[in-house]
Amino acid sequence: MTVTLEAADVFALGPAAAVAAVREALAGGLDPDGDVPRAVVRLAHGQGLLMPSESGGWFGVKIATVAPGNAARGLRRINATYLLHDSATLTPVALLDGVALTTLRTPAVSVAACLDRLRALADGGGGLRLVVFGAGPQGEWHVATIRAHVPVADVTVVTRRRGPVPGWADRRLAADAAGAANWVRRADVVVATSAREPVVDGRLVRDGAVVLAVGSHEPDARELDSVLMGRATVLVESRATALREAGDVVMAVHEGSLALDDLVTLVELTGSWADFPADRPLVVKTCGMGWQDLVVAVAAHRRKEGRPGEPS
């Protein structure tokens, strides 16, 4: 029987368990470079995205759509559904809300990649200072996922225009406000959500800070400029994916600010989760991959079925 996990069922897994699922999968030998590349289908009014993956006795596929015109209709820009199968029989076992799954797994991957650095930053006491570019769900859930692992003292949201302060933040500033730059200079963590052009001035980010870039997945779109990419240790899901989809990486390499050999991948962190130089920013650039949806979907399914402790 195929069970259904609504958004509330997916979110019930929680940020800490989602991060643990990602780290355990990588520590268990999952290789992101072995994943099937995302297929992008050009549609009359947007894009269709197909993201299949198989690992640990499971196969799953996410079908997502991106409709830029939906905002004017009062509808969601992104919709998605996830279908999880047992690998041995290829029988469908669960149908998950794909938007909730994406919202949960994206920050889980970001935090899984830099958790040791976040903990080191938090050792100073007083909690971390966060600056988040974007007031949407990804900003909110990155803050929630960081809060689930380390103390957070202050959250500043930066958006194109002024607006109400989200309940998960302390203040909201317009991007062109003079004070926004000062908060970036002081930040321990900067989160850059979906954008086609850089939203963070790379000269402002302090040495030792963590920058999470999580929105763009096209080679001609980027959230971070080449100045920051050249200054930082750059961590990516996989080299192949980064060179295919991460405009932040592709354009920085093209502009001569970043060398391919300087990229660090998630597989290279397994075991120690890396000791990154403390005198450089750490950039975690993710595009989103099928294996990430799979391991978090499996964890959510097991929780729903009352079997959270089963090995993957």
Instruction: Pick the range with the lowest mean pLDDT from 185-189, 216-220, 270-274.
Output: 270-274
Q: Report the pLDDT value the prediction gives residue 198, as an integer from 0 to 100.
A: 84
pLDDT band, very low/low/confident/very high, at 122 (cuts 50, 70, 90): very high
Is a pLDDT exceeding 90 seen at residue 5?
A: yes
pTM flag (> 0.95)? no
User: Per-residue pLDDT for 308 more than 80?
Assistant: no
Angle (nearest 5°) at CA 57 between 149 and 23: 20
Lowest mean pLDDT, pick from 99-108, 137-146, 155-164: 155-164
Mean pLDDT over 192-207 rounds to: 88
- At 271 the pLDDT is 57
pLDDT of residue 309: 58
pLDDT of residue 166: 95
What is the C-alpha radius of gyration for the chain, rounded to an integer number of angstroms? 19
Instruction: Summarize pLDDT for 60-106 with one digit per residue, the tens.
Output: 999 999 998 998 999 998 899 999 999 999 999 999 999 999 999 99
Average pLDDT over residues 127-156: 96
Q: What confidence tens digit (pLDDT) does each residue in 231-283 have?
A: 999 999 999 999 998 889 999 999 999 998 889 999 887 656 567 888 999 99
Contact by Cβ (8 Å): 235, 114: yes
- Angle between helix 137-147 and helix 15-27 axes, rounded to 10 deg: 80
In the structure, what pLDDT confidence band is assigned to residue 197 with cuts at 50, 70 and 90? confident
Angle between helices 98-122 and 15-27 (to 10 degrees): 80
With 60 as the cut, is the pLDDT of residue 31 above it? yes
**Is residue 311 pLDDT above 80, yes or no?**
no
Predicted pLDDT at 312: 44
- What is the pairing mode between strands 210-213 and 128-133? unpaired
pLDDT confidence of residue 244: 92
Pairing of strands 189-192, 171-174: unpaired
With a pLDDT cut of 70, the percent of the chain lying above it is 97
Taking alpha carbons only, the member of 244, 249, 188 closest to residue 223 is 249
Q: What is the DSSP string of 13-71?
A: T-HHHHHHHHHHHHHTT--GGGSPPPEEEEETTEEEEEEEEEETTEEEEEEEEE-GGGG
162 vs 253, higher pLDDT: 253
Q: Where are the alpha helices (DSSP H) in the chain?
A: 7-11, 15-27, 98-122, 137-147, 178-186, 226-231, 239-245, 247-254, 290-305
Query: From residue 85, how far is each of 53, 93, 161, 255 by CA, in Å?
Result: 10, 5, 43, 43
287, 35 Cβ separation under 8 angstroms? no
Q: What pLDDT digit, counting tens, does each position of 165-179 carry? A: 999 999 999 988 878
